[in-house]
Each structure stands twice: as structure tokens, then as C-alpha cells.
Chains A and B, each alone.
Chain A
């Protein structure tokens, strides 16, 4: 599969043009948004799908969830939807590399897809990827943590699934932010496979039990890891250890309000779903991705669009929702001109 990205893009352009007459009326498009499996992170996509269908007059935007986190089930879901005549797909890759084979097939049938929430690894036939940059988010999160710790101390990284290549990126990002302090901050330990309720609960609590006094700060880069760590700190009644989580689960937000959590890196799942559906409608309607669009280059892909990330802390906890909405609005308003040629 040595298609270099430009070749894939060129082929995509050709296909999109070919399918243009079919979808002359934009509202005929039927779009599927699918996460990698059931997870509370994606809950806003359902609303985003409904809003996008209404706001942009798309025939159907549906939120379809594979019943388990298995690439195989996602592939089956996408393929059977394509067989039923859906015309565009927004996909959170069940696996960054593995998803490419089904996306390639969609493309060869003239169906565009974009990666939402997480990227596919280049070379890929995804038109683009709109997500939080995992590397940047982990890096910024660690920077905020180091700031909250007053620039010195020992940090622990609570990482997600070890078989997930994104975990490797996050580990590197945390290491980089720590290294930039020239030894003032040290990385005490990286604990893997904590993005699961039961395993995470056990590992994080055991960690706190063993090294509570050495730990100055913790950064979690998984949704569940954040929830579990926030709960553990609250149970321990410890406000000395600074903690930065990820995503805005209620438990993490409550932790911020009560002072157990220093902050959390908010992502923009609603925006990903909403703008993703908008862009897919245009792509399926014959628009193409501009060759000179201002994409960001990441380790995973050359066609990355940042869906926005911001640090939620005690200062903006009540207003961050508006900030994200504003971000989404701005991104959507300029999206067509910036990234697409119609």
C-alpha cells in the first residue's frame, strides 16, 4: 500500500469529481458519523449530527456506534452502511493504521471519508483529519502541570492502552515537556493501561499508596484514567498533588470545582461532529480538498486540522462551553474557503 499521500489525494479528487453529478443536490447526502466503539467522549456527536442535518439541510446525518471497541466491528458497520447507500463517512479510527483498508475501499467506490476525533496514519485515503492533536494536547497539558507545580517536582504519567500507537506519541510528548525543564522536573513513572475503570482504579490507587509523598504532579492522557485519578485524589483528600486530566467528564469537573484537580484539557467533540458532517456534505457534493490548504503536519498525517483544545481550570470552568462553541463557529464559518475548492 505504498500510495504516497499526494497520490491518494489526487485519486480522491478524481473520484469526488466523478461522483459529483450524482449528488448535485447537497441535501441528498446521507452521512454516517461513527466512533471506534461505545464511549462517553462521543456522546456530543449525536447532538452534533442532528444539528448539522438541520442547519445545513442534509438528508440524513446518523450517529452509529459499533457495539464493541473492535476494529473488525467498526469495519463491518462502515461496510454495511456503504452497502445501504450512505454517501460519506466521518470515522474515529478504531485503529489508526487498520482503518485505512476500509477507507481505501470506500474511496474506490467514490465515497469520501474524513477522520474525526483521532487521525488515521498516513498514507491514508481520508480527505483530512480533524481532531485534537494528541501530541500537542499531552505536551500542553504537561506544560500546564509543570506550571501548577511551580516548575519543580516529580511527575507521573497515567497513560492509556499500550497497544495504541497514540500512547507512544503521548509518552514522547510528556517526556519532551519534562526534558525542557532541564532536570527541575523529573518523570517518576509512566503507568500504562489505565484507560479502563477497573484496571485503572487498581493501578492508580496502588501508585498513590506507594509513592504519594514523592509525587508532585500527575498527568492523565486517557479519558477513564482522568476520571479514576480525580476520584482517587478526592478519596485520599489530597490537594497537594497537582493533577491535569483530559476531557470534561463530570467527575473531573467536580474535582476542579472542589480543588482536587488543577485542570483538564478539554477537547471539542461536538465541533468535530458538527463541522465534520458539514465538510462531508460538501465533499460528497463534489467539492475537493484544496491542494494548498493550511493543513498542519503531525507525526500521523500531513492533512491535520486542529479542532481546538483548551485548558479548563477553576477560572473558566463555567464559561468553557461558550468558548468551545465560539471556536466551533469560527472554524465552521471559514472552513469552506480555507480547505475546500467547490
Chain B
């Protein structure tokens, strides 16, 4: 038993897992509604978009870069997919394929600009983010696309018991990312470049190639998040993505990714998204005074992070 415990505590994300389990237990006791089928559905559905957004940034952190254009890119893809289906009458699947491709291309542009110009990726994506937002507003004039195909909207609202259909997408993506970063050469090269760009270059890897690939992947994930958001909301709102920035960084970093690059944790990111979702869900369930919500959110995140840090210090890892 003791050995099991000491092994568990060595896993990087075990602190987060413990906090999540504690939170679920506490909520179940305090609010009987928490485990109701419908609330479970609502809770799980609220994770879907955030997860993809968090992964999109996590990939960039993996190569030691940042992508500030994730929200703008997701918003642009959201109106593209909405516009294709509403204004152009493109069927659902081709529309999704085109929108995903657009996201990938936008990511490639980010990557190409970063590598070719040698300008800091932070500035490049800040500028392209502004450009994406401009195209979004220029197309829509802030008016959403409403008339989406029924099958598409039904997918966004459908569920199997407490499990939302939407959850399928981030789950598949999670598995693919785990395989990608642990089994494929490209994935491992990315982390090697993120860990130490110079050493990676000396051993014959191309940091530039890895950065471009990471941006393309990040763009694809942000695009998927945008499409999912449209399915979830039932209309393509130009404001989608406007407040993704904070969660995109918070989740991977709380989950154990290093801002310096080279170290990411997919499970950690997943647990961090779950934790933030739990806190937000609890605020509504427990009827917290709206003016207190922001304060408590901050306090709880700080507590969770500190607990995880405490565990890491105890184990002696740094």
C-alpha cells in the first residue's frame, strides 16, 4: 500500500488528479444535483472546446513557442464553417473539411512567418491574430450565421446518457496526441527542439521544420475547437474564441507544461481543464454570489497549483 502510494505520488499529474477527485466528492456531498445525468452532460460538454483550445497551445509550448492567435483563428474558422453551410449551402462534412484545412493553412502561415522572418513568435501571432479577427469581422460585420444544417446542430446537442456526442472529438484527439508525441518521430523531434533547440540542431534536427509543424498542428486544433464551438452553440458567432487566451495557457501550464519548452503533459492538461470546469460548475451549483465567483476561481486555482507544487517538492523533483 505504501509502495503504491509513493509510486502514485511520483506521477507528475497525481496532485491534480487528487484535487479533481476531492472536488468531485465534495460536490457530490454538497449538491445532490451534481451527479444528475443532465448536469454530468452539461459539465462534460463544457470541457470539449476548452480541451482542444488547451491542446492547441500545449503543442506550441512543446516546441518552446507561443501562439496568441488561437482565439482569433478559432473564431475565423467558426465563421468560415458557418458561412459555408449557411450562405453557400455546402454540406456538413465538406464544410468541416474546408474549415479544418483553413485552420491548418493559417497555422502554416504563422509558422512560416515565425521561421522565415526570425521575428519572435509572440509578436507574429499577435499580429496575425489581429488579422484573423479583422477578416472575421469583415466577413460577418458581427452578425452570426444562424441557418446551420440540422444534423450538425443535432450532433452538438446530442448525448448518450450523460455523455455528449461532442466529447468524442477531444477524446480521439487526446489519444492521437499521446501517440503522436510518444511514438512518432515528428512528435519526438518537436519536444527535442523545444527542450534544447541548439542541441537538437547539432544532432541534425531542424528546429525550423519542427516549429512550422507545431504551428500547423496548433492551427488544426484551434480550428477543431472553433468548429466544435459552433456545433455546441448552434450558431456561428463571430465572438467565438474571444476569451480563449487565458484558458489556453492556464490549462497546459497548470498541467505541468514548461513555458521554456520541451516538457508537456497531455494527461496533466486534460486534468487541468477538468479542474477549471469543476470549479466553474460548482460556482453555479452552489449558488455563489456572482460578485464572488471571480475571486473564488482565482483562489481555488492558486490552491490547486500550490498543492501540486507541494507534492513535487516532497517527492524531490523540480
Contact = CB atoms under 8 A, between A and B. Distances in A.
A209 B243 CA distance: 24
Given A43-B141, A206-B281, A198 B243 contact: yes
Given A65-B142, A202-B46, A197 B233 contact: yes
A20 to B, nearest CB: 36
B225 to A, nearest CB: 11
A55 B293 CA distance: 50
B38 A209 contact: yes
Contact of A198 (B31, B36, B229): B229
B45 A67 contact: no
Interface residues of A, number: 37
A257 to B, nearest CB: 14
Contacts of A162: 290-291
Given A67-B137, A192-B291, A235-B157, A206 B43 contact: yes
B143 interface: yes
A39 interface: yes
A150 B143 CA distance: 36
A321 interface: no
Contacts of A38: 137, 141-142, 238
A159 B290 CA distance: 10
A300 B183 CA distance: 63
A191 B284 contact: yes
Contacts of B144: 40
Contacts of B33: 209-211
The contact size tier of chain B is 35 or more
Contact of A67 (B134, B146, B157): B134
B284 A210 contact: yes
A191 B235 CA distance: 23
A331 interface: no
A189 B287 contact: yes
B184 interface: no
Contacts of A296: none
Given A162-B290, A235-B157, A196 B239 contact: yes
B290 A201 contact: no
Contact of A203 (B141, B240, B284): B284
A39 B233 CA distance: 17
A191 B49 contact: no
B235 A251 contact: yes
- Dominant secondary structure of chain B at its interface with chain A: helix
Contact of A202 (B31, B36, B41, B280): B280
A255 to B, nearest CB: 12
Nearest to A65: B142
A291 to B, nearest CB: 39
A231 interface: yes
B39 interface: yes
A208 B157 CA distance: 15
Interface in A212-228: 212, 224, 227-228
B305 interface: no
B248 interface: no
A251 B284 contact: no
B293 A192 contact: yes
Contacts of A208: 38, 42
A321 B182 CA distance: 60
Interface in B112-168: 133-134, 137, 141-144, 146, 157
A201 B232 contact: yes
Contacts of B46: 201-202, 205-206
A108 interface: no
Contacts of B239: 196-197, 224
Contacts of B146: 250-251
Given A192-B293, A198-B240, A206 B39 contact: yes
Nearest to B134: A67
B207 interface: no
Most buried by B among A40, A212, A224, A236: A40
Nearest to B136: A38
A190 interface: yes
Interface in B261-318: 280-281, 284-285, 287, 290-291, 293
B237 interface: yes
B284 A198 contact: no
Contacts of A207: 284
B126 to A, nearest CB: 14
B36 A209 contact: yes
B234 interface: yes
Nearest to A211: B33
B143 A43 contact: yes
Interface in B211-265: 229, 232-235, 237-240, 242-243
B39 A210 contact: yes
A81 B166 CA distance: 46
A231 B148 CA distance: 14
A199 interface: yes
B292 to A, nearest CB: 10
A287 B41 CA distance: 60
A250 B238 CA distance: 16
A193 interface: yes
Contacts of B31: 210
Contacts of A251: 146, 234-235
Contacts of B285: 206, 210
A198 B234 contact: no
Contacts of B34: 210
Given A162-B290, A190-B290, A206 B143 contact: no
A201 B284 CA distance: 12
B128 to A, nearest CB: 16
A205 B290 contact: no
Contacts of A190: 290
Contacts of A250: 146
A162 B294 CA distance: 10
6 contacts: A40-B143, A197-B233, A198-B49, A202-B280, A209-B36, A231-B235
Question: 9 closest pairs, A vs B, by CB?
Answer: A192-B290, A38-B142, A209-B39, A206-B284, A205-B42, A202-B46, A209-B42, A210-B33, A209-B38
